[in-house]
Amino acid sequence: MNRTIVALLGAALTALAFPAAAHHSFAVWDMTQNIEFKGVVETLKFRNPHMAMTLTTTKPDGTKETINFTEGAPANMLVRMGLDPAVIAPGQEITVIGAPRKDDPNEYFIKSIVLKDGTKFQSIGP
């Protein structure tokens, strides 16, 4: 299965009226970037108003690195897209496309989650 499920977060961001409302500003993130990380989920906070996770990746030299995704789409939005949090539970191997914080490149926003079977849950971006 290779399919992409796109959320309305992008629309919500540009509409961000709910600036007023739902979410805080996304201006802290460099959304022009799409950095791909493949690894194993270490921790998961599948929550509102934003999910968060850490991912353990293996660098070319074999050493491990923890990538800190401090923010992503609201859990409810991902559920509505059909994402079962069990498939991204700790221990699961996934790919995450992230955008770094402008003022802290060690923190990332989750733009997309790609499962091993190719299913892509895309909250914003390409």
Using CB under 8 A, pick the residue from 23, 37, 95, 119 that binds another protein: 23
Q: Which among 67, 72, 46 is positioned nearest to 57, based on CA atoms?
A: 67
Q: Which two tokens stand for residue 4?
A: 């992409």
> Residue 22 corresponds to which tokens in the numbers above?
């739902």
Contact call for residues 55 and 40 (beta carbons, < 8 A): yes
State yes or no: residue 96 binds another protein (CB under 8 A).
Answer: no
For another protein, the closer CB: 25 or 63: 25
- Tell whether residue 2 is a contact of another protein (CB under 8 A): no
Task: Using the minimum distance from each CB to another protein, give the nearer residue, 81 or 95.
Answer: 81
Give the nearest distance from C-beta 30 to another protein in angstroms: 13
Is there a contact between 78 and 49 (Cβ–Cβ < 8 Å)?
A: no
Residue 94 to residue 67: CA distance in whole angstroms: 13
Q: Interface with another protein by CB under 8 A: which residues?
A: 7-9, 11-12, 14-25, 27-28, 45, 47-49, 74, 76-77, 79-80
